[in-house]
Amino acid sequence: MKFSKVIYFLIIGTILATIALLFAFDQQDTEDKKEVIVPLVKEVVDAKPIEVKPATRKQASETIKLEVIRVRPDGSLVIAGKGLPNSKVEIISGAQIIAETNSDKIGDFVAVPEKQLKGGEYLLSFRQTTQDGKVVIANKSVAINVTGAIKDIPIVAIVDSEGKFGAKVVQAPGLNANKEISTERETIIKEDKRDPYIAILAITHDTKVGQIVLSGRAHNGAQINAGFSGKETSSTKIVNDEWSVSIPGKLIAGKQKIFAVLLGKNGKVLSENSITISGKTIQNANGKTFVVVQKGDALWNIAYQRLGLGNRYIDIVNLNKNKIINPDLIFPKQLFIIPNKGTN
């Protein structure tokens, strides 16, 4: 039994070493001609696997889906996916739990370790505990290599713990760029078939000039008209699926509706989005930007997109303590103040 486990982990380590070498050969013609050499993952060889009953392991293949895995050069890590509903999700490296979170009622979860990964190789496993105490170990693991150099993009691969499938590389130097190039034509075709869509993503009260700045996303329309209660609308165009518009005027202290309408070339309304806000709340933010939570949003994702670091979701929580009871549970159309990139 022990011998088979060692063979298993040696195979995983060999896979990671092969992946790294493939990327080294692929990038040896780059400007810096830097050779990428990744040693055999020591942690994979040395780690003691979690003992699980065969029945639990068999069920695991249907209980977790890893949707987003991002590792920055400094070791910051964000993992999001779908697992068992209303369960505790633990991420384990070796024998240590490095992150713990809870899935929501449909199984969505986001995990951000408090400590950054140091330079080295890691093999992460996932353990879920349901409300009735059932423990399930996922059949997927995540292999990570962090060099510790600020310019080096970490290599990340999803590994099938049962050995039925090969390792799938999800992050590596040049991987995203190659994907963008190879799918550019396909993306354009898909965009032409998308339904008209518009969403308000951010609201800023520009106190210096007395106006409201709205920004968001939209596609398949010719023009956007936006405004708020009792004021004239302002118009703008869509650029790369994004839009921004300034609306002159002051907000009233009470509740009012902010709206954005997507128009076709003939002026026909194709889609619209609105949100009810408190003028006093916006005014008291002293010019800070509010983000509008969208369906499927998570605080780590908002922090990553707006502040550049997923683990800065803590700063968002601190600024919105009266609205965020549980960081894992946020809801569409909630408004959260966002700190500046360099400050809290």
Q: What pTM did the predictor assign?
A: 0.50
Where does residue 311 fall: left (phi above 0), alpha (psi -120 to 50 degrees), or beta otherwise? alpha
- Give the domain CATH number at 146: 2.20.130.20
200 with 320, same domain: the answer is yes
Which residue type does 127 have?
A: R
Contacts 24+ apart (CB under 8 A), 84-89: 84/128, 84/130, 84/136, 86/130, 86/131, 87/128, 87/129, 87/130, 87/131, 88/128, 88/129, 89/126, 89/127, 89/128
118 with 223, same domain: the answer is no
Q: What is the pLDDT of residue 251?
A: 77
Q: Across the 344 residues of the chain, what is the mean pLDDT of every consecutive 10-residue run?
A: 48 55 47 40 42 43 77 88 90 91 86 87 93 90 87 86 72 61 41 80 83 90 87 84 85 85 93 90 84 86 81 88 86 88 61
Count the Cβ atoms, other than its own, within 10 Å of residue 143: 23
Q: What is the pLDDT of residue 170?
A: 83
What CA–CA distances, in Å, run from 246 to 156, 173, 212, 213, 250? 42, 39, 6, 4, 12
Q: What is the pLDDT of residue 212?
A: 86
Domain of residue 306 covers: 191-338
Domain assignment present for 99: yes
Q: What is the pLDDT of residue 159?
A: 85
Domain assignment present for 22: no
Q: What is the pLDDT of residue 221?
A: 92
